[in-house]
Protein backbone atom coordinates (compact mmCIF):
# COMPACT_ATOMS: atom_id res chain seq x y z
CA UNK A 1 0.00 0.00 0.00
CA UNK A 2 2.99 2.36 0.42
CA UNK A 3 4.55 1.26 -2.88
CA UNK A 4 5.94 4.33 -4.72
CA UNK A 5 4.36 6.73 -2.23
CA UNK A 6 6.50 9.79 -1.56
CA UNK A 7 6.94 10.05 2.21
CA UNK A 8 8.83 12.67 4.21
CA UNK A 9 10.02 11.67 7.68
CA UNK A 10 11.50 14.33 9.96
CA UNK A 11 13.76 13.34 12.82
CA UNK A 12 14.81 10.34 10.72
CA UNK A 13 18.30 9.81 12.13
CA UNK A 14 17.29 7.78 15.20
CA UNK A 15 14.47 6.21 17.19
CA UNK A 16 10.98 6.16 15.72
CA UNK A 17 12.01 8.29 12.74
CA UNK A 18 14.79 5.91 11.70
CA UNK A 19 12.48 2.92 12.17
CA UNK A 20 9.80 4.59 10.05
CA UNK A 21 12.25 5.32 7.26
CA UNK A 22 13.63 1.78 7.17
CA UNK A 23 10.16 0.21 7.24
CA UNK A 24 8.98 2.50 4.43
CA UNK A 25 12.07 1.71 2.35
CA UNK A 26 11.30 -1.99 2.78
CA UNK A 27 7.76 -1.27 1.52
CA UNK A 28 9.20 0.33 -1.64
CA UNK A 29 8.14 3.87 -0.76
CA UNK A 30 10.12 6.85 -2.00
CA UNK A 31 11.48 8.14 1.29
CA UNK A 32 12.80 11.58 2.16
CA UNK A 33 14.79 11.41 5.40
CA UNK A 34 15.26 14.71 7.20
CA UNK A 35 17.44 15.34 10.26
CA UNK A 36 20.19 17.67 11.41
CA UNK A 37 22.96 15.08 10.97
CA UNK A 38 23.17 14.13 7.29
CA UNK A 39 26.15 11.82 7.78
CA UNK A 40 24.00 9.63 10.05
CA UNK A 41 21.23 9.61 7.44
CA UNK A 42 23.70 8.60 4.72
CA UNK A 43 24.98 5.78 6.94
CA UNK A 44 21.43 4.51 7.55
CA UNK A 45 20.77 4.48 3.80
CA UNK A 46 24.07 2.67 3.12
CA UNK A 47 23.22 0.03 5.72
CA UNK A 48 19.71 -0.48 4.38
CA UNK A 49 19.10 -3.96 3.00
CA UNK A 50 17.31 -2.46 0.00
CA UNK A 51 20.15 -1.15 -2.15
CA UNK A 52 17.75 -0.12 -4.89
CA UNK A 53 15.76 2.14 -2.60
CA UNK A 54 14.74 5.56 -3.91
CA UNK A 55 15.77 7.66 -0.93
CA UNK A 56 16.71 11.29 -0.41
CA UNK A 57 18.63 12.40 2.70
CA UNK A 58 18.43 16.08 3.57
CA UNK A 59 20.13 17.93 6.39
CA UNK A 60 17.26 19.78 8.05
CA UNK A 61 16.87 21.72 11.28
CA UNK A 62 13.09 21.93 11.67
CA UNK A 63 13.39 24.93 13.99
CA UNK A 64 14.45 26.97 10.95
CA UNK A 65 11.63 27.89 8.59
CA UNK A 66 13.89 28.29 5.57
CA UNK A 67 15.29 24.76 6.02
CA UNK A 68 11.78 23.31 6.20
CA UNK A 69 10.91 25.12 2.98
CA UNK A 70 14.07 23.74 1.36
CA UNK A 71 13.08 20.23 2.52
CA UNK A 72 9.74 20.49 0.75
CA UNK A 73 11.16 22.16 -2.36
CA UNK A 74 13.88 19.49 -2.68
CA UNK A 75 11.29 16.73 -2.34
CA UNK A 76 9.17 18.24 -5.12
CA UNK A 77 12.22 18.79 -7.33
CA UNK A 78 13.17 15.11 -7.05
CA UNK A 79 9.83 13.32 -6.86
CA UNK A 80 7.23 15.83 -8.10
CA UNK A 81 4.72 15.18 -5.34
CA UNK A 82 4.22 14.48 -1.63
CA UNK A 83 1.88 11.73 -0.44
CA UNK A 84 2.72 11.63 3.27
CA UNK A 85 4.40 14.02 5.70
CA UNK A 86 5.33 12.48 9.05
CA UNK A 87 6.18 15.19 11.58
CA UNK A 88 8.31 13.09 13.91
CA UNK A 89 11.22 15.35 14.89
CA UNK A 90 11.03 15.91 18.61
CA UNK A 91 12.87 16.63 21.81
CA UNK A 92 11.82 16.12 25.43
CA UNK A 93 12.69 17.69 28.79
CA UNK A 94 12.52 16.76 32.47
CA UNK A 95 12.39 19.32 35.26
CA UNK A 96 9.97 21.01 37.62
CA UNK A 97 8.49 24.18 36.14
CA UNK A 98 9.63 26.37 39.04
CA UNK A 99 13.24 25.22 38.57
CA UNK A 100 13.21 25.38 34.77
CA UNK A 101 15.11 27.82 32.60
CA UNK A 102 12.39 29.23 30.36
CA UNK A 103 14.66 28.89 27.33
CA UNK A 104 14.21 25.12 27.65
CA UNK A 105 10.48 25.44 26.97
CA UNK A 106 11.19 27.68 23.99
CA UNK A 107 13.66 25.16 22.54
CA UNK A 108 11.23 22.27 22.95
CA UNK A 109 8.41 24.29 21.38
CA UNK A 110 10.65 25.29 18.48
CA UNK A 111 11.36 21.66 17.61
CA UNK A 112 8.10 19.90 18.44
CA UNK A 113 5.53 22.55 17.55
CA UNK A 114 7.09 25.09 15.20
CA UNK A 115 8.90 22.34 13.29
CA UNK A 116 5.49 20.80 12.62
CA UNK A 117 4.04 24.18 11.63
CA UNK A 118 6.83 24.98 9.15
CA UNK A 119 6.98 21.58 7.45
CA UNK A 120 3.20 21.29 7.28
CA UNK A 121 2.73 24.79 5.87
CA UNK A 122 5.09 24.27 2.94
CA UNK A 123 3.98 20.69 2.24
CA UNK A 124 0.30 21.57 2.51
CA UNK A 125 -0.63 22.34 -1.13
CA UNK A 126 1.04 19.13 -2.30
CA UNK A 127 -0.73 17.04 0.36
CA UNK A 128 -4.04 18.54 -0.71
CA UNK A 129 -3.25 17.79 -4.34
CA UNK A 130 -2.47 14.13 -3.59
CA UNK A 131 -5.24 13.81 -0.99
CA UNK A 132 -2.43 12.50 1.12
CA UNK A 133 -1.69 12.01 4.80
CA UNK A 134 -0.50 14.56 7.33
CA UNK A 135 0.89 12.84 10.43
CA UNK A 136 1.96 14.16 13.81
CA UNK A 137 3.85 11.88 16.18
CA UNK A 138 2.55 13.13 19.50
CA UNK A 139 2.59 11.45 22.92
CA UNK A 140 0.26 10.62 25.76
CA UNK A 141 1.84 13.78 27.19
CA UNK A 142 -0.07 15.60 24.44
CA UNK A 143 -3.39 14.33 25.79
CA UNK A 144 -2.67 14.48 29.54
CA UNK A 145 -0.19 16.85 31.17
CA UNK A 146 2.77 15.01 32.67
CA UNK A 147 4.59 16.46 35.69
CA UNK A 148 8.21 17.45 35.05
CA UNK A 149 7.43 17.64 31.32
CA UNK A 150 5.87 21.11 31.06
CA UNK A 151 7.56 22.10 27.80
CA UNK A 152 7.09 18.67 26.25
CA UNK A 153 3.41 18.39 27.16
CA UNK A 154 2.75 21.96 26.05
CA UNK A 155 4.38 21.34 22.67
CA UNK A 156 2.42 18.13 22.06
CA UNK A 157 -0.88 19.72 23.15
CA UNK A 158 -0.13 22.53 20.67
CA UNK A 159 0.62 20.02 17.92
CA UNK A 160 -2.67 18.26 18.59
CA UNK A 161 -4.63 21.52 18.39
CA UNK A 162 -2.92 22.49 15.15
CA UNK A 163 -3.60 19.17 13.44
CA UNK A 164 -7.18 18.92 14.68
CA UNK A 165 -8.01 22.32 13.21
CA UNK A 166 -6.33 21.46 9.92
CA UNK A 167 -8.38 18.25 9.78
CA UNK A 168 -11.65 20.11 10.34
CA UNK A 169 -10.85 22.94 7.92
CA UNK A 170 -10.17 20.42 5.15
CA UNK A 171 -12.85 17.88 5.96
CA UNK A 172 -14.29 18.13 2.42
CA UNK A 173 -10.95 18.08 0.58
CA UNK A 174 -9.85 14.49 1.10
CA UNK A 175 -6.90 15.26 3.35
CA UNK A 176 -6.09 12.56 5.90
CA UNK A 177 -4.78 13.73 9.29
CA UNK A 178 -3.40 11.24 11.80
CA UNK A 179 -2.25 12.01 15.34
CA UNK A 180 -0.20 9.14 16.79
CA UNK A 181 0.22 8.74 20.53
CA UNK A 182 3.07 6.36 21.36
CA UNK A 183 3.63 5.45 24.98
CA UNK A 184 7.15 5.39 26.39
CA UNK A 185 9.24 3.98 23.53
CA UNK A 186 12.72 2.44 23.54
CA UNK A 187 14.69 5.22 21.84
CA UNK A 188 17.28 7.84 22.73
CA UNK A 189 14.73 10.63 23.35
CA UNK A 190 15.16 10.46 27.13
CA UNK A 191 18.96 10.37 26.88
CA UNK A 192 18.99 13.65 24.96
CA UNK A 193 16.06 15.17 26.87
CA UNK A 194 16.83 18.58 28.30
CA UNK A 195 17.33 19.12 32.02
CA UNK A 196 16.35 22.28 33.89
CA UNK A 197 19.36 24.26 32.62
CA UNK A 198 19.05 23.07 29.02
CA UNK A 199 21.84 20.49 29.14
CA UNK A 200 21.19 16.95 27.91
CA UNK A 201 19.92 14.59 30.60
CA UNK A 202 22.43 11.98 29.45
CA UNK A 203 20.64 8.89 30.71
CA UNK A 204 17.14 7.45 30.66
CA UNK A 205 15.18 7.27 33.93
CA UNK A 206 13.34 4.22 32.56
CA UNK A 207 14.20 0.59 31.90
CA UNK A 208 14.34 0.83 28.11
CA UNK A 209 14.28 -2.96 27.72
CA UNK A 210 10.68 -3.07 28.94
CA UNK A 211 9.38 -0.46 26.51
CA UNK A 212 7.79 -0.84 23.08
CA UNK A 213 10.45 -0.82 20.38
CA UNK A 214 10.75 1.95 17.83
CA UNK A 215 10.26 -0.67 15.11
CA UNK A 216 6.90 -1.74 16.54
CA UNK A 217 5.79 1.89 16.87
CA UNK A 218 6.79 2.54 13.26
CA UNK A 219 4.83 -0.45 11.95
CA UNK A 220 1.72 0.66 13.84
CA UNK A 221 1.98 4.22 12.53
CA UNK A 222 2.38 3.06 8.93
CA UNK A 223 -0.59 0.70 9.30
CA UNK A 224 -2.67 3.60 10.65
CA UNK A 225 -1.64 5.73 7.65
CA UNK A 226 -2.71 2.98 5.25
CA UNK A 227 -6.06 2.65 7.05
CA UNK A 228 -6.35 6.48 7.23
CA UNK A 229 -7.10 6.48 10.94
CA UNK A 230 -7.71 9.73 12.83
CA UNK A 231 -5.74 8.77 15.90
CA UNK A 232 -3.56 5.96 17.16
CA UNK A 233 -3.11 5.30 20.88
CA UNK A 234 -0.55 2.54 21.15
CA UNK A 235 -0.62 1.27 24.71
CA UNK A 236 -3.29 0.00 27.08
CA UNK A 237 -2.03 2.39 29.73
CA UNK A 238 -2.39 5.29 27.31
CA UNK A 239 -5.92 4.31 26.32
CA UNK A 240 -6.92 3.94 29.96
CA UNK A 241 -5.36 7.28 30.90
CA UNK A 242 -7.22 9.16 28.16
CA UNK A 243 -10.51 7.39 28.88
CA UNK A 244 -10.40 7.91 32.65
CA UNK A 245 -9.32 11.52 32.22
CA UNK A 246 -12.59 12.29 30.40
CA UNK A 247 -14.66 11.25 33.41
CA UNK A 248 -12.34 11.39 36.44
CA UNK A 249 -9.69 14.03 35.75
CA UNK A 250 -8.97 14.72 39.42
CA UNK A 251 -8.29 11.05 40.06
CA UNK A 252 -6.05 10.81 37.00
CA UNK A 253 -4.08 13.84 38.19
CA UNK A 254 -3.18 11.91 41.36
CA UNK A 255 -2.47 8.68 39.50
CA UNK A 256 -0.17 10.45 37.04
CA UNK A 257 1.63 12.25 39.86
CA UNK A 258 2.23 9.02 41.75
CA UNK A 259 3.39 7.20 38.62
CA UNK A 260 5.88 9.90 37.60
CA UNK A 261 7.15 10.27 41.17
CA UNK A 262 8.33 6.65 41.00
CA UNK A 263 10.82 7.42 38.23
CA UNK A 264 14.46 7.10 39.32
CA UNK A 265 15.74 10.50 40.49
CA UNK A 266 12.32 12.05 39.86
CA UNK A 267 12.26 15.82 40.50
CA UNK A 268 9.00 15.22 42.35
CA UNK A 269 10.80 13.48 45.19
- Single out the residue of 127, 31, 114, 103 nearest to residue 67, CA to CA: 114
Distance CA 130, CA 104 (A): 37
Active site residue 122: no
Rounded CA gap, 249 and 213, in Å?
Answer: 29
Helix axes 115-130, 150-169, angle to 10 degrees: 20
**Do residues 122 and 139 lie in contact, with contact meaning Cβ atoms separated by under 8 Å?**
no
Query: Among residues 118, 152, 181, 257, which one is catalytic?
Result: 152
CA distance 164 to 20: 23
> Catalytic positions, please?
152
Amino acid sequence: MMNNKVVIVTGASSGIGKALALELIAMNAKVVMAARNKSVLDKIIAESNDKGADVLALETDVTKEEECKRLIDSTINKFGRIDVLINNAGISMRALFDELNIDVIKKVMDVNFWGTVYCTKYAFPYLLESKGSLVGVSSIAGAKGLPCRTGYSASKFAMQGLLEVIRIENIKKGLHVLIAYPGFTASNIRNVALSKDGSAQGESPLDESKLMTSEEVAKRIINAIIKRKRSLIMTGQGKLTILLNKFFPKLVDKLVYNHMAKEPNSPLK
